[in-house]
Amino acid sequence: AQKVTQAQTEISVVEKEDVTLDCVYETRDTTYYLFWYKQPPSGELVFLIRRNSFDEQNEISGRYSWNFQKSTSSFNFTITASQVVDSAVYFCALSEAFNNNDMRFGAGTRLTVKP
């Protein structure tokens, strides 16, 4: 069965620090999709990124970057020069669309950025 592990339950940083949120996944499928979502204190779920298993290129979007490494089954998320508005719970998710037809979320990492 697929599994997503976000080992960091809570992280606290001071504004302008860089922070990396870890995500390790487990799947037997060769075709799968990985996602990151942000859940700010207001409660909505905001899509950040989707990556398929055949695309190992790292991605940068402004202060956000993602490091996908199939060799270690990890899809880590880094925020550079963190800001107070980055404070949220961040979820990593895995979908195995071709076998199990399922979507699994990690337990989430609560990031607090202090001024």
Partner 1 sequence: DTAVSQTPKYLVTQMGNDKSIKCEQNLGHDTMYWYKQDSKKFLKIMFSYNNKELIINETVPNRFSPKSPDKAHLNLHINSLELGDSAVYFCASSQDNSGRIYTDTQYFGPGTRLTVL
> Which of 11, 13, 24, 107: binder of partner 1 (CB under 8 A)?
107
Q: Is 65 exposed, middle or buried (0-12, 13-18, 19+ CB in 10 A)?
A: middle
| Six-digit token string for 90 | 């961040």
Whether the CB-CB separation of 34 and 75 falls below 8 Å is answered with: yes
For partner 1, the closer CB: 92 or 113: 92
- The site map against partner 1 for 46-75 (x = CB under 8 A) is xx--x-------------------------
101 touches partner 1 (CB under 8 A): yes
Whether the CB-CB separation of 109 and 10 falls below 8 Å is answered with: yes
What is the number of residues in the chain?
115
Least distance from partner 1 to the Cβ atom of residue 81, Å: 26
Residue numbers at the binding site for partner 1 (CB under 8 A): 33, 35, 37, 39, 43-47, 50, 89, 91, 93, 95-98, 101-105, 107-108, 110
